């Protein structure tokens, strides 16, 4: 018995295609004919001969499915190839624009890094400015990478008035008052700082209250 797939694929298998209208129509017809053929087959398997016949029909159906998948793969590969071509063309078309914009971008980045970011955001408000590069003894990269075990010493010193062991090298208790921002630290003269210290520029006419 000759099935629709045998009559179509054996005569001109290369004519079944998804890439052109004629081949696509023949492929659709082949699929429709085989579906109709399967519907006419009795779903009965009681003998070895019937078993072999049904297995053959199923196998031929899988061959048609693989044929459609193969045609789809051809289209996908062609689209991928076209995509690569368009991406290369895009690079060629936009490369002059990218190159022409780069000096402008570099200028903006330099302004952001050296002018805006070179000082604190609230420098004008508080009158305290970031030190210049020449004032720093340690590069910014090292400051960002390392941990420094440093401390801030508070003045005037008050530790002599605290209970506990004392030495004769301690400064006497001063009658001067610390800044209110240091309230709550009366029992210590040092605070963990964890940073390398450097001088800051300040605006003399700016006062914090």
pLDDT in tens, 146-177: 566 778 888 888 877 777 787 777 788 777 88
Mean per-residue pLDDT, 131-153 = 62
pLDDT confidence of residue 148: 64
Q: What is the mean pLDDT of residues 29-33?
A: 92
Most confidently predicted of 80-89, 128-137, 153-162, 171-180? 80-89
Q: Is pLDDT at 74 greater than 70 in this prediction?
A: yes
- Mean pLDDT is lowest, of 52-61, 62-71, 98-107, 184-193, for 184-193
Whether the per-residue pLDDT at 62 is higher than 90: the answer is yes
Residue 47, pLDDT above cutoff 90: yes
The DSSP secondary structure of 66-131, one letter per residue, reads HHHHHHHHHHHHHHHHHHHHHHHHHHHHHHHHHHHHHHHHHHHHHIIIIIITTS-TTHHHHTEEPP
- Range among 98-112, 128-142, 184-198 with highest mean pLDDT value: 98-112
Domain ranges of the chain: 4-92, 128-202
**124 against 47, higher pLDDT:** 47
Query: At which residue do the structure tokens 């209970």 appear?
Result: 163
Q: Has residue 209 got a pLDDT over 70? A: no
Mean pLDDT value across residues 133-154: 62
**Helices 48-110, 21-40: inter-axial angle, 10-degree rounding:** 140
For the chain, what is the mean pLDDT?
Answer: 79
pLDDT classification of 137: cutoffs 50, 70, 90? low
pLDDT at 103 over 60: yes
Are residues 130 and 120 in contact, defined by beta-carbon separation less than 8 angstroms?
yes
Whether omega for the bond prior to residue 89 falls within 30 degrees of 0, making it cis, is no
How confident is the model at residue 169, as a pLDDT? 79
């Amino acid at each position: 018995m000759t099935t629709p797939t045998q009559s179509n694929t054996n005569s001109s298998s290369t004519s079944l295609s998804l890439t052109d209208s004629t081949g696509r129509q023949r492929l659709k017809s082949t699929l429709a004919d085989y579906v109709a053929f399967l519907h006419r087959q009795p779903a009965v398997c009681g003998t070895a001969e019937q078993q072999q016949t049904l297995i053959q029909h199923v196998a031929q159906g899988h061959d048609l499915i693989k044929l459609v998948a193969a045609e789809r793969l051809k289209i996908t590969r062609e689209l991928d190839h076209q995509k690569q071509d368009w991406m290369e063309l895009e690079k060629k078309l936009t490369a002059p624009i990218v190159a022409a914009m780069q000096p402008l971008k570099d200028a903006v980045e330099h302004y952001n890094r050296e002018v805006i970011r070179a000082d604190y955001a609230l420098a004008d408000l508080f009158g305290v400015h970031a030190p210049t590069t020449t004032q720093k003894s340690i590069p910014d990269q090292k400051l960002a990478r390392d941990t420094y075990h440093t401390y801030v010493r508070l003045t005037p010193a008050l530790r002599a008035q605290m209970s506990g062991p004392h030495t004769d090298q301690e400064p006497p208790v001063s009658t001067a008052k610390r800044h209110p921002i240091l309230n709550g630290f009366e029992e210590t003269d040092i605070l963990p700082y964890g940073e390398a210290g450097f001088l800051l520029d300040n605006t003399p006419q700016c006062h914090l209250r």
